[in-house]
Structure 1
């Protein structure tokens, strides 16, 4: 039996995929009450715990030591391109905490964490390097991959930046899932649902919706009701024949005008279909329309979760022939400046840093890199005869520190809403 502990489980997008890949849930932890109700009503035999996953009074990670898989989709605002990209300085960041949870307490055979595309950007190169270094120090081989849900049978682009790490004895058996070049359009995916109430113009709409969807946005509790995202997203939806200014209660009926006159809106069921939910699963969502939409809109598409889950499962079973893992001999280098500063115990001037780099760099690029580093790490600086010198300090991210500001923010009701 291969068990999984899932943190920040949401309404079950990743959970369904991992279940279909062969994993059994030992525990699911989630903050949102509606999402927890959704999980419980669909899988009453699962242990579902509601609350802040980092709360030591909520669950005991050591009780699950040695589980096959630790998985989760931790909060994305710290890395979102649409946000301020505060990274480790954002109290909502749980990525680094989840890595420490993995290597210090749960110690699973495999780790799966997913987040938004923003985490793959150069801004977070040092953050990624720190994560890989921490995993390597505990005997794990980690690798990142940007995967698009549209390459796994989902009619939506939805890029996700995925981290998979396995213990060295399993890592050489892991292969990322193969992606397909075949893509489903919004029109062909939703034709039956859009025409369910007898809309006579559904065929014209299908022709208009002849492309994959932009990334669905689940939104937050702070901002209004359900809609399909910011202005640019709504414009993309409009080009696909969809009114993004809200979510409908039902599909258009016989009297609904031609899409040239009035565009239809999506229902929650349609949104779930675009996220990769299969109607045959009978997955019921708790709450009213807005709560349901947010649960689905924030989900990890089940087909993508299943594909990655199956690759992890095959690695744990040693189902395929092992292959060379360059990461074992020479770990992937995401940020050479971070690595130089990390390996140096003394303060280094810019010229000294440039002299130790093995990749092309100039002074201006180095200055920008250090500025990015200072957002995720304490960078000590002192003046020398040759100018400023730098030394890498502590990682700013929350990794479970009892005195971290996250606890004060979370204790405040407004802060709790912001974190969720």
Structure 2
């Protein structure tokens, strides 16, 4: 069980089974609070730490009060991925599970010295350029300097592709000391990492399997309570695993025994301990996952790999302690993600099509109209047609930021048991 001797404190929302928590703890943070919806994951946190764990919907005031943690060193979390996943419908703010915008609003309440939020690569797509711009603009309004970065887990010792889109925000006096973590030079392979676990029951072909598995695997997919079980992901992922001599159609109860066939004949399945190691858990963590196999696999597969979280945590800690040489803020600046959104959001009234075309630096009206159609998926967009042509005005953001009358509340009340 982890001790609490670290000098910096963190609150983690949507903490899952502790992947990000382990990494942040290793980097020098102690958790003042971890909030998690899934009962199995919450139990895992209780079983392995002495931190305060709040179980329930992180946006429910009955579960915790963000104002109680004003001035915390770090607010961190991995809010739900389905609203942005390229494997889904990419509903963004229209998805009742979306908590990204809500999490950003808590910065105004908590005033942490730093914010760390991670999500899937889909959030980096053009579909969400206005969403990202709104996030950066809100943080700027709160007095923070923010930036996004796409990090690949394989660059930090995790033998998976597993790209994660990460947001870091800090107050200016700390941001000048922040640097994104540098990738490791040598990649870890599935075979080298798991060979000893494959051999633990006397399988004679573990060494030969390790040679066949000499590569980086695809992203582990944890699935949800609604879809997916204890297998390694969709068809494309299973095919990629098969090229590494791994049967991705399920998770085994134990490693291959002495009579198991050669991997070229029958590729082995991974076990829960193997999957956990692929996500970055090590024997030293001595981490026990609550629930049965499927519940354990979902916790692991949905986690933020501890080594990636540790790399980020160390850089955030260094910045908060003002270690190193300060640099110019543009290295952590709010780059312009969506000029159409920026033009509309800063305008006083309606904006003409001509001005929007100028903002986009393109002459095509069809291109602007296409961008406006995407924008309207996350924001209300008013349209006015007159003698001088068509003009537009940006309305309310459709996403959940804590509104008492938002549809998310009824959705959570109806589907609470199916959400993970």
Pick the TM interval, shorter chain: over 0.9
- Partner in structure 1 of residue 416 of structure 2: 416
Are 1:372 and 2:378 counterparts? no
- Partner in structure 1 of residue 22 of structure 2: 16
Q: SS at 2:223's partner residue?
A: coil
- Partner in structure 1 of residue 89 of structure 2: 84
1:274-313 CA-to-partner distances (Å, cap 9, x unmatched) read 0011111111111111111010000000000000000000
How far residue 336 of structure 1 moved from its aligned partner, in angstroms, is: 0.6
5 Å-filtered alignment, 1:61-210, equals: 61-103=66-108, 105-210=109-214
Deviates more, 1:216-225 or 1:260-269: 216-225
Aligned partner of 1:36 among 42, 47, 57: 42
How far residue 354 of structure 1 moved from its aligned partner, in angstroms, is: 1.4
- Partner in structure 2 of residue 400 of structure 1: 402
| Distance (whole Å) between structure 1 residues aligned to residue 22 and residue 334 of structure 2 | 32
Q: Is the 8 A contact 1:141 1:327 kept in 2?
A: no
Q: Is the 8 A contact 2:107 2:142 kept in 1?
A: no
Report how many residues are paired: 414
| Distance (whole Å) between structure 1 residues aligned to residue 94 and residue 299 of structure 2 | 26
| Distance (whole Å) between structure 1 residues aligned to residue 48 and residue 334 of structure 2 | 41
| Distance (whole Å) between structure 1 residues aligned to residue 228 and residue 172 of structure 2 | 47
Q: SS at 2:252's partner residue?
A: coil
Tell me the TM-score normalised to structure 2 length.
Answer: 0.96
1:213-237 CA-to-partner distances (Å, cap 9, x unmatched) read 1000000011253101111111111
5 Å-filtered alignment, 1:266-305, equals: 266-305=270-309
Q: Is the 8 A contact 1:74 1:94 kept in 2?
A: yes
For residues 290 and 389 of structure 1, do their structure 2 counterparts lie closer, same or farther at Cα, with a shift above 3 Å needed? same
Q: SS at 1:311's partner residue?
A: helix
1:12-40 CA-to-partner distances (Å, cap 9, x unmatched) read 00000000000011000000111111111
Q: SS at 1:375's partner residue?
A: coil
| Distance (whole Å) between structure 2 residues aligned to residue 120 and residue 336 of structure 1 | 16
- Partner in structure 1 of residue 61 of structure 2: 56
Q: Is the 8 A contact 2:81 2:119 kept in 1?
A: yes
| Distance (whole Å) between structure 2 residues aligned to residue 70 and residue 365 of structure 1 | 38
Aligned partner of 2:348 among 345, 348, 354: 345
Q: Is the 8 A contact 2:224 2:419 kept in 1?
A: no
| Distance (whole Å) between structure 1 residues aligned to residue 190 and residue 216 of structure 2 | 5
> Unpaired segments of 5 or more residues in structure 1?
none
| Distance (whole Å) between structure 1 residues aligned to residue 360 and residue 406 of structure 2 | 36
For residues 304 and 361 of structure 1, do their structure 2 counterparts lie closer, same or farther at Cα, with a shift above 3 Å needed? farther
- Partner in structure 1 of residue 3 of structure 2: none
How far residue 361 of structure 1 moved from its aligned partner, in angstroms, is: 5.4
Q: Is the 8 A contact 1:74 1:115 kept in 2?
A: yes
1:63-96 CA-to-partner distances (Å, cap 9, x unmatched) read 1000000000000000000000000111100000
Q: SS at 2:236's partner residue?
A: helix
Are 1:227 and 2:224 counterparts? no
Q: Is the 8 A contact 1:222 1:417 kept in 2?
A: no
> Unpaired segments of 5 or more residues in structure 2?
1-6
| Distance (whole Å) between structure 2 residues aligned to residue 177 and residue 409 of structure 1 | 38
Question: How big is the alpha-carbon RMSD for the aligned residues of Structure 1 and Structure 2?
Answer: 1.3
Deviates more, 1:375-384 or 1:69-78: 375-384
Are 1:388 and 2:393 counterparts? no
For residues 398 and 327 of structure 1, do their structure 2 counterparts lie closer, same or farther at Cα, with a shift above 3 Å needed? farther
| Distance (whole Å) between structure 1 residues aligned to residue 355 and residue 228 of structure 2 | 52
Deviates more, 1:193-202 or 1:79-88: 193-202
